[in-house]
Amino acid sequence: MHDRESTHPFVFFFLVLPYGISSGFVSITLPFVLVSAGFSVALAASIAAVGVAANLWRFLWGPVADLTLTARRWYLLGLATAAVTLFLLGFIPIQHNAIGLLMAVVFISQVAGTLIVLPVGGLMAHTVADEAKGRAAGWYQAGNLGGTGLGGGAGVGWPAISRKKSRGALWP
């Protein structure tokens, strides 16, 4: 790490924040809204579990990400896809006949989330000075946790309150 300047540990908070937001929305806000709309707790949990399951399979696309595009491109691809799919989730009707579509978009959004964090780990390993890696890891976890709070905790109030019953979608 003597050739160039080390990446500041605080940067990792912001790089991982979108992953936390995406994860929090799918694991907290979406089940809350689904149950509020009359879905069973078991069905809402199953839909959220499909999203969380994307993390179980990260080991499969991790090597693909390492060997193909640059870390920056994977990050931007994951960020854009996560943003688009979370936006789309707001327009899928909250009805039992849309469960398959809902599960597919949830899964894709969380695969995109894994594409956000895969390159960030590599960036941390290769651009942070050894003596700052502990702080970088702390900020990484703070971004993940803070994002989960934003996507989940803060997200529960707004869509749940503003959802129009007649349209049945998350966004008014």
Residues 139, 13 contacting (CB under 8 angstroms) = yes
Report domain extents, the chain. Answer: 11-154
Checking if the pLDDT of 73 tops 90, the result is yes
Q: Is 92 left (phi over 0), alpha (psi -120 to 50) or beta?
A: beta
Q: Which ranges of 37-98 would DSSP assign to H, the alpha helix?
A: 41-52, 58-67, 71-89
Q: Count CB-CB contacts under 10 A for residue 131.
A: 9
Q: Count CB-CB contacts under 10 A for residue 35.
A: 16
pTM listed for this prediction: 0.85
* Biggest distance spanned by C-alpha atoms of the chain: 61
Looking at residue 156, what is its pLDDT? 65
Looking at this protein, which amino acid is placed at residue 29?
A: T
